[in-house]
Structure 1
């Protein structure tokens, strides 16, 4: 599919250097994820024209935007804190963009009324931002961004300011609006759930570079950095593969049913890790002694972090924890079946 957005963003900011390639097709939503300081917001600001490019290119629907001022770009932006004009009503906030694009007041208000109705706020048009809830303010900000018919929609942590319940409801509403948006959408977020629910494709950036990209299934099945592994909740190790065995630094080995040669990753879920008070009977292919480091609640289960030849996270039930008499420093044994691991090329 032809890319509506074709961008190579090179930005220098103090000691930080961003070098990221982004391509987004019509109707596609791409999530840009990464740890704090990875360059996500810098990339968004460069697309919006708020951060100058030091190199690369920026084409939107075939038009070179590098010399187009921010207010002239066919781009809608929803900022993390929404940045609604506090002195304007919701209706006038949404009408602001069309007015800036030369539309007369009556027509701009008609556009604003249609968008407020689409986001479920038809009866909130006269309210000022201070009289809106967080979810309502987010919807006004989205309506304001979409009212200019943007070729590119930029969303900067659009749900971060909401409480958990409002976030759940608003996420579903936002997904519906993004599905109907014919242009390209870039979602900047640190929340993997937002990315998995809202985006068609994920782009992971670390230290100003793209380290992995693909659909959710590919990313979650085969993480390629520690950050991505933590993001999707997997234990990840890098070593050298020789058939079914991957040798890790320090001489420790992990066995998989997958075959891999050369530089390789091994990944497995914390749920695949079995804990034992004593060395387990039988012959699990991956077994090693560990010392308990930390225990935290993780949903209905407990996430246990363990130190040993390799550090590992395990998910166990409260009942299993009680039987193991967990306490910091407790010596245990770990077992992971070879069939529960995934080995793949680095």
Structure 2
């Protein structure tokens, strides 16, 4: 017997729509992740490959069982191993948009979207009416009779989203929903997705590698590495104060951890940076690649932070070149092609790097946090 489509009451103020602690053991890897998402909130889960993002999504969807912890959604326990409680995937009030959309190739767009309502107990006519309404909301009414192979990538993505939303889910899971699209289609579809997520009354979890998707679509970011949360907060907080090397690269900053004594931060036994900020104790020092100046010889004059470096790599980065540098600290610098030609840059080339003290930003590090170097 199938469950009817869920109609939800308004959540109690202050109570998250999703309250979960996901603990999954897979040999040497252990996911231990706490997630709380409010009604109407979009949370992006970011992290490097192997961090546990997909495992978290599969656990919430009921495709991977918990070893410990719990999943409580809209006040109901869906998964709680200590009480031998588990809810099958098809009975969870959850909609999922997979990376490759996984539309049924033999069904039309209309019947793909109607599949969820049918599984939740609606007859064929009512399910198709719900599906037609959602295709209209997605701007796809004229494509209702087309099969997936007749749809563009952006159209298929919107059909998959309509299918997920057609069951009025308490939780919407998006697994890299824009990854399969080309750059132009991705730009347009991201804007459309943003509008639909803003209108979704339930909780949304977006799993992505792309920081731009996260910054545009999400209200809050959760960064996971090696199965654990290393940082979370709104985009402004995370981009201003990254706390791991992965997060720093994600937001485009150089990051070092060290011990501050006034304006001096000792990064390692042989190297210190001078900052315009005064601090004491364990700190992070961050600065953008654009703040790193390169010279063929040791510069005279004002820079307080100057050190010898060696080029370890050069890549295009937008209209500029991103130069990777080894030395007493590893950094990246962004320079113009004209400056690169003047310096005659090449791998293995020695030069001098400099950063003005006023270009650095220093902030306290949590005790025992991971060292970015």
TM-score range, shorter chain: over 0.9
- Distance in 1 separating the partners of 2:27 and 2:299: 54
Please give the secondary structure, in 2, of the residue aligned with 1:59: strand
Residue 278 (structure 1) aligned with residue 291 (structure 2) = no
Residue 332 (structure 1) aligned with residue 345 (structure 2) = no
- Distance in 2 separating the partners of 1:50 and 1:109: 27
- Distance in 1 separating the partners of 2:60 and 2:128: 28
1:258 deviation in Å?
Answer: 1.8
- Distance in 1 separating the partners of 2:160 and 2:26: 28
Residue 127 (structure 1) aligned with residue 151 (structure 2) = no
Query: What does 1:57-72 align with in structure 2 at a 5 Å threshold?
Result: 57-66=70-79, 67-72=86-91
- Distance in 2 separating the partners of 1:125 and 1:55: 43
1:313 deviation in Å?
Answer: 0.5
User: Per-residue CA shift, 1:243-267, capped at 9, x if unaligned?
Assistant: 2211012320011122222221111
- Distance in 1 separating the partners of 2:121 and 2:328: 66
Using structure 2 for the length normalisation, give the TM-score: 0.91
1:331 deviation in Å?
Answer: 2.1
Residue 177 (structure 1) aligned with residue 196 (structure 2) = yes
Aligned partner of 1:25 in structure 2 is 38
User: Per-residue CA shift, 1:49-82, capped at 9, x if unaligned?
Assistant: 1111111121111111112211111100000111
Please give the secondary structure, in 2, of the residue aligned with 1:310: coil
Please give the secondary structure, in 2, of the residue aligned with 1:172: helix
Q: Which runs of 5+ in 2 are unaligned?
A: 1-13, 80-85, 366-373
Aligned partner of 2:246 in structure 1 is 227
Aligned partner of 1:260 in structure 2 is 279
Using structure 1 for the length normalisation, give the TM-score: 0.98
Aligned partner of 2:63 in structure 1 is 50
1:144 deviation in Å?
Answer: 0.0
> Superposition RMSD on alpha carbons, in Å?
1.0
1:295 deviation in Å?
Answer: 1.4
- Distance in 2 separating the partners of 1:253 and 1:3: 45
Aligned partner of 1:192 in structure 2 is 211
Aligned partner of 2:82 in structure 1 is none
Runs of 4+ in 1 over 6 A off after TM superposition: none
- Distance in 1 separating the partners of 2:309 and 2:269: 16
1:335 deviation in Å?
Answer: 1.1
Aligned partner of 1:3 in structure 2 is 16
Aligned partner of 1:139 in structure 2 is 158
Equivalent position to 2:320, from 281, 286, 301: 301
Of 209-218 and 323-332, deviating more is: 323-332
- Distance in 1 separating the partners of 2:303 and 2:269: 21
